[in-house]
Amino acid sequence: MSKVNIIPGELQLDNLRQVMNPKIACVLQQEAKHNVDAATNLVAKIAAQDEPVYSINTGFGLLAHTHIPTEQLAELQKNLILSHATGVGKDLEDDVVRLLIALKINSLMQGCSGIRWQIIEMLNTLLNNNVLPCIPEKGSVGASGDLAPLSHLGCALIGVSNVKLNNEIVSAKQGLQKVGLQPVELQVKEGLALINGTQASTALALSALFKFEKCLSAAMLAGSMSLIAANGRVNVFNANIHRVRRQLGQQQVAKIFRDLLGDYKASTAEGNIVRVQDPYSLRCQPQVMGACVAQMRFAAEILLVEANAVTDNPLVFVDDEQVLSGGNFHAEPVAMAADNLALAIAEVGALAERRVALLMDSNFSGLPSFLVAHSGLNSGFMNAQVTAAALASENKALAHPSSVDSLPTSANQEDHVSMATYAARRLHSMVDNIAYILAVELLADAQAFDLRKNVQLPEKIKACYQFIRQHVSTLDEDRYMADDIEKIYQAIIQGQFQQWIDCNVENFS
């Protein structure tokens, strides 16, 4: 089994991609135990005193002024977990839960949370054995931490609720027993350390980012193929044009198109339509997708910082013997990063849908209407383009910023919230939508190549075309198309188009 070393505060994007894989084991840096133990000892020392310190010997939120007797401090932490486990809806996907656990471990290992090393090891045992708490996806406003989803994580540790083990839902107690663990009795501050933090929203956003990378690879290929299918002009990718614009993302995308298109030139053979200028969805791909790359790069930078951050509350600073209450749990950075990523996702899909629409029009493409012989008897790709349009339009609504919304909670103590968890969660629907749009485009491109005949394809484009044809045959006449679209969608989501162009964000640094 491959391993990822968790060095507190030093995870990289590739580490985060890896921990989502159940075949990857996480190894804790043992040197971190010293700082974790020191913080735990300081919390115990403070708890033994009479002076009220938030969350150590007081209630929470608006109840912070309520003093809790020493003999009830353990019960306080258990009650906190149980009362805040109020999530609803379907459970988070397994890979998101794995990432969430890894992020929580990374935060707790930094020695600012006052939690025992035993709890961190327990989380890591669950992760490495793929015993995954059932965490409902809805119920967090992304302020005071992702309280509801992280409480469901905490419930698994105390033997409450359910976990998923080998794709089967079992009780948390059964899941713990399967890996040699017993429910833990939480000590002072440990419940709050578990449920405060932005790990749910950050895991959702990072997971969507990684899916978008795969879609972006497919979009570069689809855009190149559509240009060829439409007999478009390649001079628009000339490096001089993009150099003087000075936008890094635009220059990088233009180079990708030059590499993919190679020596291709628009055909002047009889029957081909040659245009002086192509529509923007073909001509301005570097400008539009380059801007999307810039947003992706920005979002990745913010999310990587958040993945390595300590975001619970209060925080323990051993050197100064201080426990300070602040607001690191407020997930505004994640919400804004997710909103920016939403813009990029929506625009990639909108551009792809317009390219599909161009290919449907025989007056533009010079190909049979709706890319099928005997159109009229056959409708060809007519309604596949409608599906693409529906999904592109849906993404416009989903791209509305979530971070500008706020609804006070906790009797107005938490009077401004980030809505980061929804901001990140909706990205997954958006990515799915563009993957389907791109599946339609790639199928339309392959169909156009078959209809145009004798078109000379650059090496990578030819390989991509052949890959599509290995999965889906030419549309000679109308047939059930949903399965065709689904096959290419699955190939996109699985990252199979990255073999020709890898659009992981690190490649755009």
Q: Tell me the residue ranges of DSSP E strands in 109-243.
A: 132-133, 136-138, 162-165, 168-171
- 188-210: average pLDDT: 96
Burial of 210 (0-12, 13-18, 19+ CB in 10 A): buried
Which of 415, 392, 431, 396 is closest to 204 using CA atoms?
431
Which residues are CB-contacts of 11 (< 8 A; sequence separation ≥ 6)?
102, 106, 304, 307, 308
Residue 114 pLDDT: 95
pLDDT tens digits along 88-125:
999 999 999 999 999 999 999 999 999 999 999 999 99
pLDDT greater than 70 at residue 61: no
Q: Token pair for residue 45?
A: 């020392």
Please tell me the distance from the alpha carbon of residue 474 to that of residue 467, in angstroms, as a whole number.
Answer: 13
Mean pLDDT, residues 268-287? 84
Averaged pLDDT for residues 313-333: 93
Rounded Cα gap, residues 212 and 207, in angstroms: 9
Nearest CA among 328, 309, 302, 303 for reference residue 108: 309
Amino acid 154: pLDDT = 97
- % the chain with pLDDT above 70: 97
Stated as kind and residue range, the H or E segment containing 322 is strand 322-324
Of residues 416 and 197, more confidence is placed in 197
Q: Are 492 and 438 in contact (CB under 8 A)?
A: yes
Active site residue 54: yes
pLDDT of residue 334: 97
Strands (E), 48-195: 88-91, 132-133, 136-138, 162-165, 168-171
Q: Helices marked H in 327-406 — which ranges? A: 332-360, 362-365, 382-398
How far apart (Å, rounded) are the C-alpha atoms in residues 205 and 428? 8
Q: What angle do CA 356, 359, 363 make, to 5 degrees?
A: 145
User: 416 and 196 in contact (C-beta within 8 Å)?
Assistant: no
Can you give the pLDDT at residue 65?
72
- Peptide bond before 314: cis, by omega within 30 degrees of 0? yes
The pLDDT score that the predictor gives to residue 103 is: 98
Among 161, 217, 166, 146, smallest CA distance to 22 is for: 166
- At a CB cut-off of 8 Å and minimum separation 6, what does 404 contact? none
Contact yes or no for 430/395 (Cβ under 8 A): yes
pLDDT at 260 over 90: yes
Over 90: is that where the pLDDT of 55 sits?
A: no
Over the chain, what is the mean pLDDT? Answer: 93
Please say if the pLDDT value at position 271 is more than 70. no
What average pLDDT does range 179-203 have in this prediction? 95
| Nearest-angstrom CA–CA distance, 28 and 277 | 57
Q: What is the pLDDT of residue 411?
A: 67
Task: Give the pLDDT confidence score for residue 76 in this predicted structure.
Answer: 87
- What average pLDDT does the segment 188-215 reach? 96
**What distance lies between CA 288 and its chain's CA centroid?**
21
Per-residue pLDDT band for 51 (boundaries 50, 70, 90) equals confident
Q: Find all residues with CB under 8 Å of 57, minimum gap 6, and list them.
A: 47, 67, 68, 70, 73, 188
User: Which pLDDT belongs to residue 412?
Assistant: 67
The residue among 455 and 438 whose pLDDT is bigger is 438
Residue 226 CB partners (closer than 8 Å, separation 6+): 232, 282, 355, 356, 358, 359, 441, 444, 445
Q: Is the pLDDT of residue 437 over 70?
A: yes
The mean per-residue pLDDT over the stretch 324-342 comes to: 95
Integer Cα distance of 348 and 286 in angstroms: 11
How much is the pLDDT for 68? 78
DSSP 395-433: HHHHTS-STT----BTTTTB-----HHHHHHHHHHHHHH
Q: Is the pLDDT of residue 310 over 80?
A: yes
Pairing of strands 2-6, 24-28: parallel
In the prediction, which pLDDT does 363 show? Answer: 87
For the residues 464-478, what does the mean pLDDT come to? 96
pLDDT given for residue 457 in this prediction: 94
pLDDT band with cut points at 50, 70 and 90 for residue 345: very high
| Through-space distance between the first and last CA atoms of the chain, rounded to whole angstroms | 30
pLDDT of 446 > 80? The answer is yes
Report the distance separating Cα 33 and Cα 118, nearest Å: 10
| pLDDT at site 274 | 73
Mean pLDDT value across residues 376-404 = 95
Predicted local confidence at residue 66, as pLDDT: 76
Give the angle subtended at the CA of 396 by the CAs of 390 and 397, to the nearest 5°.
95
C-alpha closest to that of 427 among 209, 170, 149: 209
Structure tokens at 163: 């976990």
pLDDT: is 365 or 316 the higher one? Answer: 316
**pLDDT value for 473:** 97
Structure tokens at 365: 């493409």
**Helix pair angle (199-229, 147-157), 10° resolution:** 120
User: What is the distance between the alpha carbons of residues 399 and 302, in angstroms, rounded to a whole number?
Assistant: 19
Which one is catalytic: 54, 422, 465, 489? 54
Q: What is the token pair recorded at 200?
A: 């749910």
pLDDT at 409: 77
On the question of pLDDT at 269 being above 70, the answer is: no
* Mean pLDDT value across residues 131-160: 95
Amino acid at 270: E
Average pLDDT over residues 299-315: 96
Residue 192 has pLDDT above 70, yes or no: yes
Nearest to 435, CA basis, from 504, 489, 374:
489
